[in-house]
Amino acid sequence: MLQPDYSTADVERFTALSIRRGAGLESIGRANEDDLRVVAGAMLLGVPEGTFDSEALERAVKGFLRDEADWLRAEPEELIALAKSWGLLEETDGGFVSRLEPRIDVSRCRLLDEIESAQVILEERRRRAREALQARNREVNAPPAPLIDDEADARFMAEAQKEAEAAGAAGEVPVGAVLVREGEIVARAGNRTIRDKDPTAHAEVLVMREAARKLGNHRLNGTTLYVTLEPCPMCAGAIAEARCARIVYGAPDPRRGAVAGALELFAVPGVNHRPHVTSGVGAEAAAKLLSDFFAARRAK
């Protein structure tokens, strides 16, 4: 039964086995008995040369189970018995001797490198599969695209712009929003963070709070939120939680925007609600109001 030769093919086979997380020796042997020899040989790549005592053997086996074979469900005693049964480990009066004859290009370092590379490849495959599944789920679960009325969008954005202008006149960053349901404005607001001494009092948050109160539901299904500036991460997260059907925003915000600017929050895995997004409606007027506001502030 002694087959002392250990080649790169054996290293590759052990690497392939390492994908089987939680496998035991019994299940490995049932599938292919020679795989047990491969496992025993891989373990012996880490033992000292020549004769070594039981403590050195135990350290080597435990290191093997910790590193190369962290995927293997086995006890040190099982592996030692396995190596003996294949004639690869011999017990002598002076201790133990490995009868494994690895080829010149086979070593424990080579085995560890192969396993590490395989794990990187495996994780990349899993990541791609996960992303493909998530993309498919988003596609399947996406709500139907709403009918777009450009004239209505322009009209409601003009109302949001009025709220932004009022906020700017009050010393707030001039951003305004309205929330619409079935063609009617349910709530409207401009930024109030300074006046309310509330860092969350952005226009989007305020209209969602008011609409939820009026409609008697924290879910704002079937609504459209119009806002003059691309929502920040906080507001985009709140929009997802409220399940607004659609967002229409004016000026983009490359530095802090969370829809298509600094990040795309609605594309993040785990964000289950993804509203339909329309951008650029009234963008020029919204951007000018903001730039004029900050220019005046800097001039003071």
Q: Residue 272: pLDDT above 80?
A: no
Contacts of 152 (CB under 8 A, 6+ apart): 183
Least confident interval from 29-43, 79-93, 108-122: 108-122
- What's domain 150-299's architecture? 3-Layer(aba) Sandwich (3.40)
Cα–Cα distances (Å) from 197 to 2, 177, 193, in that order, read 80, 19, 5
**Residue-level pLDDT at 1:** 60
One-letter identity of residue 210: E
One-letter identity of residue 247: I
Least confident interval from 145-149, 165-169, 182-186: 145-149
- Closest residue by Cα to residue 243 from 274, 283, 212, 213: 274
- Closest residue by Cα to residue 111 from 12, 220, 237: 12
244 is in an annotated binding site: no
Answer yes or no: are the C-beta atoms of 246 and 270 closer than 8 Å. Answer: no
Among 123, 204, 210, 230, the one annotated catalytic: 204
Assess whether 204 carries a catalytic annotation: yes
Q: Residue 141: pLDDT above 70?
A: no
132 CB neighbour count, 10 Å cutoff: 10
**Residue-level pLDDT at 120:** 86
Residue where the block lists tokens 């010393």? 171
Q: Which of the listed ranges 14-23, 140-149, 272-281 does the model predict with the highest average pLDDT? A: 272-281
Confidence of residue 68 (pLDDT cuts 50, 70, 90): very high
Kindly report the pTM of this predicted structure: 0.58
3-state secondary structure of 231: coil
The domain spans of the chain are: 5-136, 150-299
Residue range 193-205: mean pLDDT, rounded: 97
Confidence of residue 174 (pLDDT cuts 50, 70, 90): very high
Give the separation between CA 236 and CA 204, rounded to whole angstroms: 9
**Residue-level pLDDT at 142:** 65
**Residue-level pLDDT at 277:** 93
Residue range 218-246: mean pLDDT, rounded: 96
Answer yes or no: are the C-beta atoms of 20 and 71 closer than 8 Å. Answer: yes
